[in-house]
Amino acid sequence: MKTYLVTGGAGFIGSHLCDNLIELGNKVIVIDNFNDYYDPQIKERNIYHHSKDENHIVYRIDIRDKKALDEVFNNNYVDTVIHLAAMAGVRPSIEDPLLYQEVNCMGSQNLLEVMRKYSVKKMVFASSSSVYGNNKVVPFNEKHNVDFAISPYAATKKANEVMGHVYHSLFGLDVAFLRFFTVYGPRQRPDLAIHKFTKLISNDEVIPFYGDGLTSRDYTFVEDIISGVLKSINFVESNSDVYEIFNLGESQTITLNTMVEGIEDALGKKAKLNKLPMQPGDVNCTYADISKAKEILGYNPTTKYKEGIVKFVNWYQEINN
C-alpha cells in the first residue's frame, strides 16, 4: 500500500482519481478547501461514499495556508503528491487575476516548499492546454513555445511548470506536468460548458453561444484522463531525474456546433441559442498531440465524444431526477 496526497481531491478529476487509487489498494489523503467557486455540496457528494473508509482521509484546508500544509505532512507519511488544486477557469481569471496568482502560484509554492521540507520527491502536477494560447500550429506539441498566454489562468499554469523545473533542478523533485485538454464526464463542474449547456437544454432555457460555433476543443473523457494520471504516477515513481510535460487529450477536435448537437442528440431536445461575440481569453482551438504520452506512458484514450457525451448526459439525468 502506498500513500498518495491529492490536492483538490474532492473535485471533478480529483474525486475520480481518489476512487481509482483506493480501488488499487492505496491510502489517499485529500486536501481540499471546499470553497464556493461552485456549490460545495457537489464536492461533498463526490466523496460521500468514502465517508467511512479509513484509507480516505480528508483535510479541509487551503493550499495558501502553509502552516496547515505543514501539519498534514508532519502527521502523515506521503509517497507521492498529485497536485490538482487550483482556481480554475479562463474567464473568471480575467475578473480577478490576483486571486489566481495567489492560489495557483503562491499556493503551489507552499506545497513545493512543504514537500522539500519533508523530503517528498515524487509529484504529478496538473497543468492545462490553456498554456498554448492561440498557437497557430496544430496539434499542440509539448515542444511548442508557450510564452504567449492570453489569460491569467494560463499564465499561472505556465509559471507552475517553470517553478516545478526549479525544484527539480535544485532539490531533486521528480515531477510530471499534465496538460489537460477540456475534461468532461460524470461529476464535471457545473460552470463548464458541457454541464451548463446540458442543464439549460434540459430546462428549455437559452444557451449563451459565443462566436460562430466553429471554435473547437479537444474534449477528453474523464476515464481517459484518469488512466493518463495513473500512468504518469507510475512513470514518476519508477524513474529518477524526472522532469516531463505531457499532453493528455483525446487528440480529436470537436467544434462548438458539434458539441451542442451531441448534447441535443443525447437529450432528445433542441437547444435555444443566444448568439454572442467571442469572449476575451477564449482560444480558437485546442488540439493535443499525444504522441509523447503514448510513447512514454502508454497513454491510449479510447472514448469518442459521441460515446462520452451519452455517458455524461445519463449521469446528469440520474442525479437530477
Nearest to 19 by CA among 46, 58, 52: 46
Would you list the DSSP string of 66-127? HHHHHHHHHHS--SEEEE------HHHHHH-HHHHIIIIIIIHHHHHHHHHHTT--EEEEEE
C-alpha cell of residue 153: 489562468
Helix 108-117 × helix 152-171 angle, to 10° = 10
Q: Name the active-site residue from 4, 59, 100, 153.
A: 153
Give the CB-side neighbour count of residue 248, counting CA atoms within 13 A.
30
Does residue 152 have a cis bond before it (omega within 30 degrees)?
no
Q: Is 153 a catalytic residue?
A: yes
Q: Which residue has the cell 476543443?
A: 217
How many angstroms separate the CA atoms of 13 and 181, rounded?
12
Three-state SS at 11: coil
| 268 torsion bin: left (phi>0), alpha (psi -120 to 50), beta (else) | left
Characterize the bridge pairing of strands 220-221 and 183-184. parallel
How many angstroms separate the CA atoms of 182 and 180, rounded?
6
How many angstroms separate the CA atoms of 282 and 215, rounded?
9
Catalytic center residues:
153
